[in-house]
Amino acid sequence: MAAPFKLSILVGDDPGRPPAEVAKGFEQAEIAAGLQLIPLESNEAWTKKQEEIASWGTPPIRISSHYLEGLPGQQLTGPHADLELQQFYTKRLFSRLADVGVKTIGIGAWCFPVVDGFSKTKTMDQAISYCNFIADQASVHGMVIALEPQALLDSLFPRYLDGLAFAKEVARPEVRVMADLAYFIKLDQPLEHILQSPEYCMHCHMAGANDGQPGVGDMVEIHTHLFRVLRDAGYDKAVSCACPWVSTDGGPLNFGKETAKSLRYLQDLREKVYAS
């Protein structure tokens, strides 16, 4: 049996959840790249930001998300896609991702819209061209891309199998997919779709009920199902808590306390699944 997957946590996506307060014991961290690495800021500003990120004391940062948030108003397909700006942004972002140790770059399907009145063929051409460009950049830094289907019916790949088919169409080893439990649930997709090409799944997101953290709500059955699928897939990468966080004791959110609760929940469930 393959080694168990790692437990990760998203940091830097909300100022109300300071990364330094994350409970100890997570094995990796995922950074909100477009909100923290901001390629349109100067290299001097980036040097200072690196010092701040190092001070957080998080587990090793190996994954990123929030890809285009540092380029407001831009998407990667459609009539307003600015290729020159995107290429500058991408090269600098990838360099900064490498600086903090990221190996897997998550890109949400919202970045690849299908726009009414704009050629679907042109949209596909734009997407494949850009993905070839980022595959080149990823290769330079030893990274992979994880395209995240997000149940958006006006995107190029709303469902997991759509994302898988698109990644295979691009046909670059650096371009793969991400599995997000919330979107599987939203469009009633079988988790077993992950098993169709398990080598393509590079990252996984999960939350609890009503988008709260894992451990919130009666989600044990679906979480157990997901963990068994990942076990059967030989998946040894990361499962991230990439979600809004809520207080479970009726008071103000205590991020450290809540992350500790979620971590225990995930550790116990992972141990149970791999022991069975």
> Which of 64, 60, 39 lies closest to 49, judged by CA?
39
Contact 41, 217 (CB under 8 A): no
Q: What is the dihedral of CA 107, 131, 63, 96, to 10 degrees?
A: -110
Q: Can you give the pTM of this predicted structure?
A: 0.96
Residue type for position 201: C
7-58 per-position pLDDT tens digit: 999 999 999 999 999 999 999 999 999 999 999 999 999 999 999 999 999 9
195-213 per-position pLDDT tens digit: 999 999 999 999 999 889 9
Tens digits of pLDDT across the chain (276 residues): 578 999 999 999 999 999 999 999 999 999 999 999 999 999 999 999 999 999 999 999 999 999 999 999 999 999 999 999 999 999 999 999 999 999 999 999 999 999 999 999 999 999 999 999 999 999 999 999 999 999 999 999 999 999 999 999 999 999 999 999 999 999 999 999 999 999 999 999 999 998 899 999 999 999 999 999 999 999 999 999 999 999 999 899 999 999 999 999 999 999 999 998
